[in-house]
A and B are shown apart, each in its own frame.
Chain A
Amino acid sequence: GAGVSQSPRYKVAKRGQDVALRCDPISGHVSLFWYQQALGQGPEFLTYFQNEAQLDKSGLPSDRFFAERPEGSVSTLKIQRTQQEDSAVYLCASSLVGNTVETQYFGPGTRLLVL
């Protein structure tokens, strides 16, 4: 596809369940970012990959959050033992090379609701 795609678009989980969110970046894009957007807030950085290497995970809120990009393309964000405070929209973005001035292209997001 031409843009960043994410699946599922919506996910309802019971508290304590594990979830996995998928991101397909634009083909050929080296850099991939995950952001968390709480209701009424701007996106907040979670983690950053360059190819398969996770170069920055400083934004992950706890060790229940884990992200991977094993082949340098598709990425998965996993949340273990979900809590109600994890309810948010999770946005994935990709950029061609990953330098500071590059445009990041965003997917539509996965809306996670933890009951």
Chain B
Amino acid sequence: ETGVTQTPRHLVMGMTNKKSLKCEQHLGHNAMYWYKQSAKKPLELMFVYSLEERVENNSVPSRFSPECPNSSHLFLHLHTLQPEDSALYLCASSQDLIIGTSGEETQYFGPGTRLLVL
């Protein structure tokens, strides 16, 4: 248990569906992240939020829409996905955002949502 939870753990959806992934962190951290992990590819950063403000959007297609209503919760809204979007979606959080200071920027990951788009 890292203190970061994600629901659902598994999701199967059609290309016309709309669904949302939820992430909650119980660590009192200020920054939260969405990552995509596809088979045989490095982890790819999708979005970064700091104190509920989006600070990075890594050229992610608009069919992925993040929402951060407060510093403990992060959502990823999905609509009209493609089969190539099938992957493990990981949420992470960290105390600080700036890497290279105290180690407080260490990111802790949730268990992930395994998404299959048919």
Q: Do A and B come from one complex?
A: no
What residues make up the interface of B, taking CB atoms closer than 8 Å to A? none
> A: which residues have CB within 8 A of B?
none
